Structure 1
């Protein structure tokens, strides 16, 4: 795996449905080395600090190979890197093979998989497609959130290496699909197993507790 694109943004104010919306979803590629801190990437801003950024959502990554799929589905020839709001566009970043708690060395920083990404309405704004939230969710490959175990720096072209692999088998895709796919077999077993993982973000633990209740 390697970083195909490094993407950051300042908060922008836009008009959507007649209302002012502040958002940091409009990521743009940068060739500069970025500093990865405990709560976010330096120079990258989040407007909604309740739902974005912070310890368990410090860094968001998306697989570069997903772009071809979405270009075909959306009928868009060229989707620019960072369009899904990701900080890092990474080759071969598989939600099906990355487990909660896996630790990855990205540049010099050490990151830990904390939770799946649940898309919000701002993705529909970024892609100018009101159906994207449903399509994105049903695809079950929505990217990966990380917490930062060791701060560091990274840039486009840097390698991404799994330094510690969890063995419990609760992958990002498995957890996301179990939660959102009503036909998923044995979702309660997955939820119960995931709740026992200390690495799973508190936000998702609350989701699973409510679903089990």
Structure 2
């Protein structure tokens, strides 16, 4: 299976977010030539805060273009938004968080990439678009997008299609993982499954494991008294 791609998008110069002194690379621009993708991301794509962006489990951000119609209805002043408006490196039609699974491997240009985690929306979205609670609405709705890790570096040309190569975890949709992350009442069985989902980024698996361990300690303490 394959999908046409809008992108790649990148930002080689950090800009200040409106009304702040905070620098951000969220305002991506369409590349006009081939771009090299390596383990840390697209060459020339600047990252302001490496604690939350970039790195081996976050080399690319993908946001479905299908979602922009929803945000235009919710925030009427955003009628002009489209691909790259939420800081993504690539965008597609016909792929969303229900369909894409953790561990999915895609060929994009000459590079091989793997879905590693849901995207965690941040308040930079609110500031960039002057849209109060936009990030919170993304999180609540599950329209988060997702991130990739790069398995094989390679050149990506503008307009290169996205080809699905392998789906080792067909039940591990991005939406399922995100709902597990947001829902404090999921079962111990689900938490254990998420903690053991090997293609999932280590940050997420650690969070799920900590929650499960905390529950078990409370259960053990309750049994003593």
Return the TM-score normalized by structure 2: 0.86
CA distance in 2, matches of 1:125, 1:178: 27
SS in 1 for 2:113: strand
Cα deviation for residue 187 of structure 1 reads 4.7
CA distance in 2, matches of 1:121, 1:173: 20
More strand by share: 1
Matches within 5 A, 1:45-84: 45-75=46-76, 76-84=78-86
CA distance in 2, matches of 1:123, 1:25: 8
The answer for unaligned runs of 5 or more in structure 2 is 215-225
2:183 aligned with 1:175, yes or no? no
Matches within 5 A, 1:1-213: 1-14=3-16, 19-75=20-76, 76-181=78-183, 186-212=186-212, 213=214
SS in 2 for 1:4: coil
CA distance in 1, matches of 2:84, 2:129: 11
Cα deviation for residue 196 of structure 1 reads 1.2
Cα deviation for residue 16 of structure 1 reads 5.8
**Deviations for 1:120-161, whole angstroms, at most 9, x for unmatched residues?**
111111221121021111110211100001111223322111
Root-mean-square deviation (CA, aligned residues, Å) is 1.8
* 112-121 or 4-13, which deviates more: 4-13
Which ranges of 4 or more aligned residues in structure 1 deviate by more than 3 Å?
none
Cα deviation for residue 107 of structure 1 reads 1.6
CA distance in 2, matches of 1:93, 1:176: 16
CA distance in 2, matches of 1:115, 1:188: 20
Name the CA shift for 1:69/1:10 in 2 (closer, same or farther; >3 Å). same
Whether the 8 Å contact between 1:26 and 1:82 is mirrored in structure 2 is yes
Whether the 8 Å contact between 1:105 and 1:163 is mirrored in structure 2 is yes
Whether the 8 Å contact between 1:13 and 1:20 is mirrored in structure 2 is no
SS in 1 for 2:193: helix
Whether the 8 Å contact between 1:103 and 1:164 is mirrored in structure 2 is yes
Name the CA shift for 1:97/1:52 in 2 (closer, same or farther; >3 Å). same
Name the CA shift for 1:100/1:111 in 2 (closer, same or farther; >3 Å). same
Please identify the structure whose Cα radius of gyration is greater: 2
Return the TM-score normalized by structure 1: 0.90
Whether the 8 Å contact between 2:14 and 2:46 is mirrored in structure 1 is no
CA distance in 2, matches of 1:40, 1:5: 14
